[in-house]
Amino acid sequence: MALMTKEQYLQSLRELKPKVYLFGELVENPVDHPIIRPSINSVAMTYELAQDPEYVDLMTATSNLTGKKVNRFTHLHQSTDDLRKKVKMLRLLGQKTGSCFQRCVGMDAFNATYSTTFEVDEAHGTNYHENFKKYLEFVQENDLVIDGAMTDPKGNRGLAPSKQEDPDLFLRVVERREDGIVVRGAKAHQTGSINSHEHLIMPTIAMREGDEDYAVAFAIPTNAEGLYMIYGRQSCDLRKLEDGADVDLGNKEFGGQEALVVFDDVFVPNDRIFLNGEVEFAGMLVERFAGYHRQSYGGCKVGVGDVLIGAAALAAEMNGAQKASHIKDKLIEMTHLNETLYCCGIACSAEGHETKAGNYQIDLLLANICKQNVTRFPYEITRLAEDIAGGLMVTMPSEKDFKHPEIGPICEKYFKGVDSVPTEHRMRVLRLIENMTLGSAAVGYRTESMHGAGSPQAQRIMIARQGNLEHKKNLARKLARVDEESIAKREAASSVEK
């Protein structure tokens, strides 16, 4: 198959029949559920664009494993050009969906696991790398969506996994058998998990001796026995259940998705295990995945930002305020911040390097700088969009009021902007801004910008680690002539003079 169509993807999810709970009920048909479907549409766009000749160069690549054309979301980066194309692809998809399209976590997990398993095998003589290569060939051939799952519930953050009062608060191995392992626990905040065919599980933190049962990486089908998901609530999600809802939904077609993924004694066969107790490599896998995923935000958040900037500019025009100098300046600032994020994504890609395994890794320091900026700039872009939109964005009557035979004309009259723009068009743009800044699409922009791929402190820890402060101090010592060599030369010269 190699490349699935959008229709084939939707059908494959129907056949998968994952176990999903929403609002306390088991969902019989997740694919067509009105709350879940927009997030599925976002993933489907990754298949649709891969079939479009205009975007084939960005959306597809040649597999280094099979030599076949594959969706770039299943590809191992083979050059810095691949890394740059990844960022450009994510920006494109953000522009097309105005939301989170959920598939980059799998791509980032592939690349991190590929290089890490190579080095684990090198150190321990294990067979994880071959296991993973065979698994990835299977994923590429079938063009599957993979949920890269790293975040554990964590419980008491001050305690190691093995020291928790409830040992299941970090996913762990509860039984090792001749043919595989049995795992128990959960992964939280999992982006697109319900829309994925498979889950690629990784440790959530660096580990040490005593945490061997928690240092585990493996792949498992989404419909595996003992695995189920609990869908996360989003602001304004009940609007999707209203009869005839349209204008009030804002971004009606697309959305993001998060869920708690629970593993209730799930069996994993040996050929799908990629780490099993090698605690010293858990941190490497975490660091590499986090780096790739922080690079991703220099693309996806920028694409969604493009949509929000455009919506704010439209709102200004519909309000008749587009010529005001402060409006122009706010749009300039939004663009400046958005393009700065893009610069970071491209920079960490251009400065990438080859790993021992042969795939390419981004510059970790610049990737963390990228994500640190993402924890700030989208908030300011959002604030400015809300400023430009005006208070009506959050005080607007419902769509049903506009359709009411008596009060509808009153709403039309008093919520009109410039004469040339229908009131409904103005309402649609304002609802889009509301959806992107406060509603369900905000899951893929505002708050997710803060906590996705690690909270701000996680990047600051990596920046401190990667910042090479000693090198910078040595540069200053040399120019200030306080380095040991310069001091020795001056002392020697002084003795000769004496």
Contact 349, 90 (CB under 8 A): no
Q: How far apart are CA 74 and CA 52, in angstroms?
A: 17
What residue ranges of the chain have pLDDT lower than 70? 1, 442, 496-498
- Residue 197 to residue 307: CA distance in whole angstroms: 29
Which residues define the annotated binding site for FAD?
191
- Residue 283 backbone phi and psi in degrees, to 5: -65, -40
Q: Superfamily for 286-467?
A: Butyryl-CoA Dehydrogenase, subunit A, domain 3 (1.20.140.10)
pLDDT score for 288: 98
- Whether this prediction's pTM lies above 0.85 is answered by yes
Task: Report CA-CA distances (Å) from 114 to 28, 109, 380.
Answer: 36, 8, 37
For Cα atoms 84, 86, 87, give the angle at the middle one, nearest 5 degrees. Answer: 70
Burial of 209 (0-12, 13-18, 19+ CB in 10 A): exposed
Q: Is 390 left (phi over 0), alpha (psi -120 to 50) or beta?
A: left
Which amino acid makes up residue 58? Answer: L
List of E strands, 252-329: 258-269, 273-276
| Contact (Cβ atoms closer than 8 angstroms) between residue 25 and residue 236 | no
**217 neighbors 113 (Cβ within 8 angstroms):** yes
Please give the order of strands across the beta sheet that includes 227-231: 25-26, 20-22, 227-231, 258-269, 180-191, 172-177
Question: Which of these, 423, 92, 71, lies nearest to 247 by C-alpha position?
Answer: 423
- The kind and range of the H/E element at 282 are helix 282-319
Q: What is the pLDDT of residue 483?
A: 78
Secondary structure class of 57 (helix, strand, coil): helix
CA angle 178, 179, 185 (to 5 degrees): 100
d(CA 112, CA 126): 17
Write down the pLDDT at residue 1: 67
The residue with tokens 């910078």 is 472
Q: How many CB atoms lie within 10 A of CB 394?
A: 13
- Active-site positions? 100, 104, 191, 258, 293, 297, 300, 448
- Give residues with Cβ within 8 angstroms of 187, minimum separation 6: 149, 150, 151, 152, 171, 193, 199, 201, 260, 261, 263
In angstroms, the Cα distances linking 456 to 139, 348, 369, 451 are 32, 18, 10, 7
**CATH code 2.40.110.10 region(s) in the chain:** 6-283
Query: Does an H or E element contain 45, and which?
Result: helix 37-50
- Where, residue-wise, is CATH 1.20.140.10 in the chain? 286-467
Closest to 254 measured CA to CA, from 317, 195, 316: 195
Per-residue DSSP letter, 28: S
CA–CA gap between residue 133 and residue 333 (Å, rounded): 45
CA dihedral of 273, 278, 284, 290, whole degrees rounded to 10: 50
Cβ–Cβ under 8 Å, residues 116 and 129: no
Q: Where are the beta strands (DSSP E) in 405-466?
A: none
Binding residues: 191
Question: DSSP label at 398?
Answer: P
Q: Report the topology of domain 6-283.
A: Butyryl-CoA Dehydrogenase, subunit A; domain 2 (2.40.110)
106/14 Cα distance (integer angstroms): 20
